[in-house]
Structure 1
Amino acid sequence: MEMNDLLHAAVDSNASDILLAIDAAPMFRIDGELKKTALEPLDPTTISDLCDQVLNQQQKEILDRQKDVDFAITIPRLGRFRFNIHVQRGTYAAAIRRFSNEICSLSSLDLPPVVEELTRLKTGLILVTGQTGSGKSTTLAAMVEAINQRDAKHIITLEDPIEYQFQHGRSLIEQREIGEDCPGFASGLKHVLRQDPDVILIGELRDLDTIRVALQAAETGHLVLSSLHVSSAAGVVDRLVEVFPPEEQSQVRSHLAETLRGVITQKLLPAADSKGRVAALEIMLMNRAVQTSIRESTSHLIPGIISTSRRMGMQTMEQALKEQLLNGKVDPDIIDEHLQELKGEAPKEYSQGLLA
């Protein structure tokens, strides 16, 4: 078995992810659903050979030492793939994410107009959040590309690893890979501030030092875009604040209230026509009520503020789900499922009643 053949099959199947583990056939994630391939189950020798086909010597050394390695490769005419190769039960396993060669535009993703408006800001922090596989990287890349095609800016990205590869448009874009071009997010970000950027993309806010420098960058005249694994806009505030020591949290809330410009929380849902997936977005923008809630540690009030501020472009996840249902883009059963997640319990007849 050749890794190239496996990647070709994934592209032909329009799979977003490939999962490899011993004693199981390779599995593809297609439109969010995990599906077995018709291939033979992998044995330790086969999976080791597959991984060796894409690992370079440095990556092999990291894998031997840390039992886990992340990297990305581009295959001409096929696309870019992010690999996580790790050890489980004493043998290799792999999770492979596929990225398109072409960066989607905001309009092709059918995102609310306010997302494009956020890319016109000159300073502040914008976060795209959601669970793994919710399309955060795709949205962030589309936002960066919107700036790149429209404005003459200096854009610097810090990624682990580099996912989408940008071409210079009206902007000049530099992409720095953690481990290859700089040792870590926090140290790379400190140096980026001396490189005359207008826009900074941080792949993920992972730790205290990175969050601290990101807030500093947003305060000192830069537009900072990043992602966070949080499932609600209100949860973002608590997550960012709780990373800091208790004695700093009051000051951090004040900084957040001044620098945070918007939070986009995403869910990807199967499309009603079974062709691809549809994004539902919760959107929080900064207004006086949200700022006060952040400063006064009353983030439980934020969902109510969002739901009553639709004129500004805000919307809760519940409102976004209802809108996708009314537009006929997602089946009622899927909406019910996600409403149950949000509310704890939702009547099965809810969405059918909404459509009646």
Structure 2
Amino acid sequence: MEINDLLHAAVDSDASDILLVTDAPPIFRIDGKLETTALEPLDPETIRDLCDQILKDKQKETLEKQQDVDFAITVPRLGRFRFNIHVQRGSLAAAIRRFSNEVCNLSNLELPPIVEELTRLKSGLILVTGQTGSGKSTTLAGMIQAINERDSKHIITLEDPIEYQFQHSKSLIEQREIGEDCPNFSSGLKHILRQDPDVILIGELRDLDTIRVALQAAETGHLVLASLHVSSAAGVVDRLVEVFPPEEQSQIRSHLAESLRAVITQQLLPAAFSKGRVAAAEIMVINRAIQTSIRESTTHLIPGVISTNRRMGMQTMEQALKDLLLNGRVDPEIIDEHLQELRGESIKEQSQGLLT
């Protein structure tokens, strides 16, 4: 079996992901659902051979030491693929994500107009959040491309690995890959501030040092875009603050209130009358009420502020889902399922807010 044959099959099937695990045939994720291929179940030797076809010596060393390695490759005429190769039950397994050769324009993503407006900001922190596979990377790439096509800016990205590859347009774009061009996010960020950027893209806010430097960059005249694995806009604040020691949290809340500009929280749902998926986006744009909630640790009040400020471009996830239902873009059963799940999470979050 050749890895390129699998990649070709995934593209032909319009799969977003390929999963390779011992004793199961290759699995494709299509429109968010797992689909079993008609191929034979994989044994450990076959998976290792597939991985060896694309692993470089340095990546093999990382895999040997850490039992896990991330990287991306570009295959001509097929696109770019992100690989995570890891060990499970003593044998190799792989998760492969497919990206388009071309960066999507924001208009094609059909996100609320406020998302394009946010790319016009000169400074501050904008976060795109959601679960794995919710389209965070695609939205961030679309925002960078909007700036690239419109403004003369110096854009620097820090990614692990590089997913979408940009071409210079009106902007000058540098893309740095963790492990290849710099050792880690925090190190790359510290040096980025000396490289005269206007816009900084951070693939993911993973640790205290990265968050600290990102806030510093946002407060010193840079526009910083980043992703975070959080399922609600209000939950972003608590997630970021809780990373810091208790004695720093009050100060961090103050910094966050000043530097945070907006949070876009996404999930993807199957489209009603066509192939593909539709994005539902919760939008939080920072105003005085939200700044006060951040400073005073009353984040359980934020959803109410979002729901009553649609004129500013804000919307809760519940409002976004209902809009998709009214426009007939997603089946009612799918919307109902997500609304029930959302309301369950909301009650849990409100309870936690009241207890703290």
TM-score, length-normalised on structure 2?
Answer: 0.96
Contact 1:82 1:98 in 2 (8 A): yes
1:40 matches 2:40: yes
Query: Which amino acid counterpart does residue 82 of structure 2 have in structure 1?
Result: R
> Matches of 1:150 and 1:278 in 2, distance apart?
26
Q: Which amino acid letter does the alignment assign opposite residue 221 of structure 2?
A: G
Measured in 2, the distance between the counterparts of 1:166 and 1:206 equals 23
> Partners in 2 of 1:62 and 1:343 — Cα distance?
42
1:352 paired residue number: none
Listed as ranges, the matches of 1:228-247 within 5 Å are: 228-247=228-247
Question: Equivalent residue of 2:217, what SS?
Answer: helix
Q: Once superposed, which parts of structure 1, at least 4 consecutive aligned residues long, lie more than 3 Å away?
A: none
Name the CA distance, whole Å, in 2 between partners of 1:56 and 1:299. Answer: 46
Q: Structure 2 matches for 1:67-216, cutoff 5 A? A: 67-216=67-216
Equivalent residue letter for 2:36: K
Match of 1:302 in 2: 302
CA contact (8 A) 1:123 1:222 kept: yes
Query: Structure 2 CA distance, aligned partners of 1:293 and 1:44?
Result: 52
Aligned to 1:219: 219
The separation in 1 between residues aligned to 2:321 and 2:311, in whole angstroms, is: 18
Paired with 2:291 and 2:63, the residues of 1 have a C-alpha distance of: 44
* 3-state SS of paired residue (2:109): coil
- C-alpha contact (below 8 Å) 1:129/1:266 kept by paired residues: yes
Deviations 1:69-90 (A, max 9, x none): 1000000111000000011111
Task: Determine if contact 1:83/1:95 at 8 Å carries over to the other structure.
Answer: yes
Give 1:274 deviation, angstroms. 4.0
Cα-to-partner distance string for 1:27-63 (whole Å, 9 max, x where unaligned): 0000000000000100111111100001011111111
Distance across 1 between alignment mates of 2:113 and 2:275: 23
* Separation in structure 2 between the aligned mates of residue 272 and residue 4 of structure 1, nearest angstrom: 32
Matching residue of 1:22? 22
Aligned partner of 1:313 in structure 2 is 313
Residue type at the aligned position of 1:319: Q
Identity %: 84
Q: CA deviation at 1:273?
A: 1.2
Equivalent in the alignment of 2:336: 336
Secondary structure at the residue paired with 1:83?
strand
Where does the alignment leave 5 or more consecutive residues of structure 1 unmatched?
A: 347-356
Within 2, Cα distance between the matches of 1:324 and 1:72? 34
Q: Deviation at 1:329? A: 0.1
Query: What one-letter code is carried by the residue in structure 2 that aligns with 1:15?
Result: A
Instruction: Compute the displacement of 1:122 (Å).
Output: 0.3
Alpha-carbon displacement from aligned partner over 1:269-315 (angstroms, at most 9, x marks no partner) = 00001410000000000111111111111000000000000000000
1:216 CA drift (Å): 0.1
Contact 1:339 1:345 in 2 (8 A): no
User: Could you say if the C-alpha distance between residues 302 and 345 of structure 1 is closer, same or farther in structure 2, counting changes exceeding 3 Å?
Assistant: closer
Task: State the partner residue of 1:51.
Answer: 51
- Write out per-residue CA displacement over residues 320-340 of structure 1, whole angstroms, 9 at most, x where no aligned residue: 000000000000000011001
Name the counterpart of 1:275: 275
Amino acid at match of 2:164: Y
Letter in 2 for 1:8: H
Aligned mates of 1:66, 1:24 — CA distance in 2 = 24
Matches of 1:345 and 1:117 in 2, distance apart?
A: 29
- Distance (whole Å) between structure 1 residues aligned to residue 252 and residue 231 of structure 2: 21
Secondary structure of 1:108 counterpart? helix
**Which residue of structure 1 aligns with residue 257 of structure 2?**
257
8 Å Cα contact 1:158/1:188 also seen in 2:
yes
Deviations 1:203-249 (A, max 9, x none): 00000000000000000000000000000000000000111111111
SS of aligned partner of 1:157: strand
> Shift of residue 176 of structure 1?
0.3
Corresponding residue number in structure 1 for 2:2? 2
Q: Counterpart of 1:107 in 2: which secondary structure? A: helix
Counterparts of 2:88 and 2:293 in 1: how far apart (Å)?
Answer: 44
CA distance in 2, matches of 1:37, 1:190: 45
Q: Structure 2 counterpart of 1:343, which letter? A: R
Deviations 1:76-113 (A, max 9, x none): 11100000001111111000000000100000000110
Report what 1:291 is aligned to.
291
Q: Counterpart of 2:126 in structure 1: which amino acid?
A: I
SS, match of residue 164 in structure 2: coil
Q: 1:344: Cα distance to partner? A: 2.1
Q: Which moved more, 1:61-70 or 1:261-270?
A: 61-70
CA distance in 2 between partners of 1:248 and 1:138 (Å): 33
Tell me the number of residue pairs that the alignment of Structure 1 and Structure 2 aligns.
346
Alpha-carbon distance in 2 for matches of 1:26, 1:334: 27
* Distance of 1:183 and 1:76 partners within structure 2: 28
Q: How does 1:316-327 map onto structure 2 within 5 Å?
A: 316-327=316-327
Q: Which amino acid aligns with 1:116?
A: E
Distance 1:312 1:284 in 2: 9
Aligned residues: CA RMSD:
1.0
CA deviations over 1:172-206 (Å, ceiling 9, x no partner):
00000000000000010000000000000000000
Structure 2 unaligned segments of length 5 or more: list them. Answer: 347-356
CA distance in 1, matches of 2:158, 2:201: 6
